[in-house]
Structure formats: C-alpha cells, structure tokens
Amino acid sequence: MRVPHGPCPGLPSPDKKYGTIQFAMGGSEYDDDWELPSADITVVLCGKLGCGKSATGNSIVGREAFVSEYSHASVTSTCQLASTALKDGRTLNVIDTPGLFEMTITSEDAGKEIVKCMSMAKDGIHAVLMVFSATSRFTREDSSTIETIKEFFGEKIVDHMILVFTYGDLVGENKLKSMLNNAPEYLQKTVELCKNRVVLFDNMTKDRWLQEKQLENLLDVVDSVNTNNGGKPFSDQMLACIKEAHAREQEVHDAIGYTEEQISELKKEIQRTRDEQLANITNMVEEKLNITVDKLQQQLMEEQNARLEAERLAAEARLRSDEEIRKLKKRLEKAQQENEEFRKMASQHKCSIL
C-alpha cells in the first residue's frame, strides 16, 4: 500500500508547484515552472544493530558526532543529525537512525522516528545508505529490510539506495568483490537492485589520505545517484507535508509589518497546525508500517511453507530412492545367492561325472 497523493493532512493544498528537470543527450529540458535543487546533500544511514552505522556517520562528517561503540544493545536510540562542509562549498547532512525496520522496534516508536527523520530531511533525501557489516553473513533478514523500506516508501526509493559495507580494515576491496561474486542469490539480487552501487568503508583507519579517499568515493556515488534522479532528492507526500510546515514556520519567522501580538498568534496557529499535521503523519506512518509488516510476514510465511513443502517432497523422494536401493540390493543379493547355488551344483555334478 502506498500513501495516496493529495493535499497534506491538516493543511490546505499548496499554491506553489514544483516542476521537474529532465536530462537529455546534448542538453537539458526544463518545465516552465521548476525549482533548482538544493546545494545541500542529505544522506540517511539505515541498518541493523552492530553494523557500524554510527561509526560510518562519524567517518563521513570527520568527527565523533554520533555515539559509536561495540554493544549487544542499540547505541543509537533516536534519529540524530550532523553536518559538515565539503571542499566544494556544499553542506553534507548525515542522519543516523536506530534500527527503524527491525522486528524489535514497535510500530509506534518506528513511526515517530521515521517522522523525526523526515523532519530532519525536510528538503528531501538524496541517498539512503544501507549499511552492512562485511564480516557478517548477509542474511535473508538483511534482504527483507530493503524490501520493507521499498514497500514502505515505494519503488522510487531504490533509485536512491547505496550499499555500504563496513569493516574495510578487515575485508579489502578485492575480497569484498570476491565475496559478492560468490554470494547467495538474494544478496546478488540486492546488489543488482541497487545498480551495483557498493562502497567499502574502513572506520578504524587513522590514515588521512584513506579517510578522504573513501569519502570521495562515496560522494562520487551519491552525486551519480543525484544525477540519475535529475538532481531531485527522494520525496513523497509525507516529506512534502513536513517541508510545507517548515516553509510556513519560516514565513512567520521572516514576517515583516506585523505586530508582536500578531506574530505570536501566527506562531501559535502554525504550531497547532504543525502538531496536528505531525500527528496525522505519524498515524499514517504507523498504519503503513503495520500493513507493510503484515504483508512481509505473509510473504515470509508463504516462502517458509514453500520451503517446507519442498523439503517434504525431497524427503519423500529420498525415501523412495532408499526403498528402491533396498529392493535393488535384495535382488542383487538373491541373484548372488542363486549364482552361488548354481556354482555349487555345477561343481557337484562335475565330481559325479568324474
């Protein structure tokens, strides 16, 4: 189920239209009404407990912005934002998330964190960094996390996904390539789904050249994703609603010609509308999460039933095979016994003649 298009919950329809940019060979084609993409870049780190999301975020921003430590419990309990200035003048915003799509988090908590993440990424998400440990086996659960995100946000989110493998200090690029080439089918399908956008990160290195080089590699892939998407970040109705709320707050902040009392009333109205809107979006997210989880659980149940049926048929085939082998052995033993009796009879007959 996807969130239906239309006006934002709790807000009137926006007056402003946003055009699209379509790139063509030899030039660019623009709508009459289009908006320049923001110079800022926003990336979101997603992944399960212990995969190295926070450490990767620290490597990207170049400082200890996120709490990162080895633990059997989640270190990141809520969405956090850190920014850094790039050499080309752009600002890179990094959002670190808790395990939003893990089975251990409730739909209510996941809904609140997704809304918070979207609020931080009010101008849209340029890239979703799916973080996995290169030293751990890529499981069907890892693959289903991507399927959950795809089901929740829609097919277009895949166009913004990049696979980031951590523990590059233990697994070099050549070994990672070899691992991916010999990986299970579901991992190979995940790599194909993300158009082979794979980055290896070493979060332990103190080598400044290597730190800068791996960041450059990541930014090259992010820029490639941005270009392939026409310079437009990922956005949907929920993000659009949040962006509109922020725009209204900015209008009030920049208001000229109003009395303090009028501005105070405007702020209260904006806050009330924003609270209603966020409550509506949170409910929408929770409902969509429940539907998505139910759908995936049904798919997993069907896959499990199919595997059990395949195992049952295989077991029956083995039993039939074992029975056939047993019968064949019995016939062979009988033939050998008859042959031995015939040999004895022939030997006795020969002695009688002599």
Residues 201 and 283 in one domain: no
Residues 297 and 234 in one domain: no
Of 240, 273, 303, the domain-final residue:
240
The answer as to whether 208 is a domain residue is yes
**What is the pLDDT confidence band of residue 3, given thresholds at 50, 70 and 90?**
very low
Residues 212 and 121 in one domain: yes
Of 192, 210, 240, the domain-final residue:
240
Q: Are 267 and 252 in contact (CB under 8 A)?
A: yes
Domain tally for the chain? 2
For residues 298 and 47, give the distance between their C-alpha atoms in angstroms, rounded to a whole number.
22
- pLDDT tens digits, 70-118: 544 455 578 899 999 999 899 999 999 887 666 566 767 777 787 788 8
Residues 228 and 85 in one domain: yes
Domain with 309, as residue range(s), is 261-327
The answer as to whether 255 is a domain residue is no
CATH code for position 36: 3.40.50.300
Residues 229 and 304 in one domain: no
Residues 302 and 168 in one domain: no
Q: Are 103 and 140 in contact (CB under 8 A)?
A: no
Residues 229 and 267 in one domain: no
- pLDDT tens digits, 5-27: 344 444 333 333 323 222 232 33
The answer as to whether 9 is a domain residue is no
The answer as to whether 248 is a domain residue is no
Residues 116 and 236 in one domain: yes
Look at residue 73 in the predicted model and tell me its pLDDT: 47
The answer as to whether 14 is a domain residue is no
Of 206, 240, 274, the domain-final residue:
240
The torsion of the CA quartet 295, 300, 304, 305, rounded to 10 degrees, works out to: 10
The answer as to whether 351 is a domain residue is no
Residues 93 and 152 in one domain: yes
The answer as to whether 13 is a domain residue is no
83, 30, 36, 25: which is closest to 233 by C-alpha? 36
Residues 199 and 79 in one domain: yes
What whole-number percentage of the chain has pLDDT above 90? 27
Residues 115 and 230 in one domain: yes
Q: Per the structure block, which two tokens stand in for 81?
A: 């934002």
Mean pLDDT of the residues in the chain: 76
The answer as to whether 11 is a domain residue is no
Residues 104 and 193 in one domain: yes
**What is the pLDDT confidence band of residue 147, given thresholds at 50, 70 and 90?**
confident
3-state SS of 9-36?
A: CCCCCCCCCCCCEEEECCEEEECCCCCC
Q: Per the structure block, which two tokens stand in for 122?
A: 């009010």
Does this model's pTM top 0.85? My answer is no
285: amino acid identity, one letter: V
